[in-house]
Structure 1
């Protein structure tokens, strides 16, 4: 068994897996069903990775085993969750069109396309609503705000990461990334609590400074853990207390 066929190599996706889930918990009431939901969410993610790789490469022998492995693990947990929360079936349908976008770009071997990134980001961000629903939250306005915060944060991260890796010598793209983060600060000032404005300023400094420091991909990945924590803390202090 080769782990590369089982474990996703897209390190940034782990933050997208966790952060929107915690957003939903923060504005609702954490309960044991959240653990069940996260197990299902993790297994879905781990299963989708080999499915998309199979679509891209057509290597059935390599990817069939992880698909069956994670799918078999998922079934009992998914049934358990659906029995407890039948509404999860309807919510899960929202993911299908977005997954089809990812499948198309995998088939055409163009996974780095911006539309593909955005489709994936919206998929992960939908977890805000699901986690909120599991926690029987009542502040739907806050849930909608954090859904958009999640999308805007991760789209900005996608732009920033490109200035570190694939677009590191593209000055126009660097200015575009910085401009995007300036807009995030302005939007935060207009619509969000002041702690969110501070985190948006931190992200702007990241977009401005880090590409100039010529940091490595590994250093960028490690720093993203810190920035994710900054965003989570600002959400918790703004919405959870």
Structure 2
């Protein structure tokens, strides 16, 4: 006699839109730090606008974003004690970065002069990741520094930037006044993005901490004082140029200080989505003020 059919196994219905387990992507492919994208993109765009964008600026932006994806995947792999399941995105993004980087350096070999600076920043951050200190103040400062420095790198690739982009002996930042303008822009962006580090901590991981709140408020108060000093110096100058830009910096800095003081006191606590929208608005305001910064230079 034929054996009776085996009873069917009960199946659990899969929620609509859910991927089968075999198709789910492993960890490390998509970063969860959504706020990092503005910090990555804005300096490159501002630097490009400063000296008129070229196709090299677009290539730099794509390469920089892939570098961030590779960096994020590598950091996650290190924190996971180098488990094999975390390795695929490291390989994929790493290979893509090598290809894009080779094309970029082939078009502008002078960029290799930035290698020592970014080598130190990258090594420091990866060591922090290896020690599971990726949320430390040091690592936050290092990542902000790497992102902000991109404004000067990008400015050097603009149409009015490096005149000898195909030689290692060529200048690697915009010449003359544009050189100072690129660093002035980087300084303004650094002031803002470094301030977001303690500010965001007061709303998420360190909310309720009086020490972190004091650091956040103190930093933003210092930005207001610096902006006021710039305004006073412009008013004391016989020339009227740049006064409007100085006023814009004071207004933006004052708004950021008010945000640092008031938002952490809101109850209930702002949601991550609300914090993200607030960061977008603040970044747009800072970017607009930053683009006027070159008019402050003598």
Could you say which TM-score interval applies, normalised by the shorter chain?
Answer: over 0.9
Instruction: Give the corresponding residue for 1:164.
Output: 203
Q: Name which structure has the greater RCO, CA cutoff 8 Å, separation 6+.
A: 1
Contact 1:163–1:173 (CA under 8 A) maintained in structure 2: yes
| CA RMSD in angstroms, aligned pairs only | 1.7
Answer yes or no: is 1:36 the counterpart of 2:89.
no
What is aligned with 1:175? 214
Rate the CA distance shift 1:143–1:237 in 2: closer, same or farther, 3 A.
closer
The 3 A distance-change label for structure 1 pair 236 and 146 is closer
Q: Counterparts of 2:115 and 2:49 in 1: how far apart (Å)?
A: 21
Matches within 5 A, 1:71-220: 71-135=94-158, 136=161, 137-138=174-175, 139-191=178-230, 193-213=246-266, 214-220=269-275
Name the count of aligned residue pairs: 240
Computing the radius of gyration over CA atoms, which structure comes out larger, 1 or 2?
2
> CA offset at residue 93 of structure 1?
2.9
Which residue, 271, 279, 288 being the options, matches 1:224?
Answer: 279
TM-score normalised to structure 1 length: 0.93
Pick which of 57-66 and 104-113 moved more.
Answer: 57-66
Q: Report the Cα distance in structure 2 between the residues aligned to 1:239 and 1:143, rounded to whole angstroms.
A: 8
Structure 2 gap ranges (5+)? 1-23, 162-173, 232-245
CA displacement 1:130-162 (0-9 Å, x = unmatched): 101111133111111122222221111011001
CA positional deviation for 1:237 = 3.7
How much has 1:236 moved relative to structure 2?
2.2
Q: Distance in 2 between matches of 1:113 and 1:75?
A: 29
Q: Please list the CA deviations of residues 71-91 of structure 1 after superposition, one character each: whole Å capped at 9, or x if unmatched.
A: 222233222211110011221
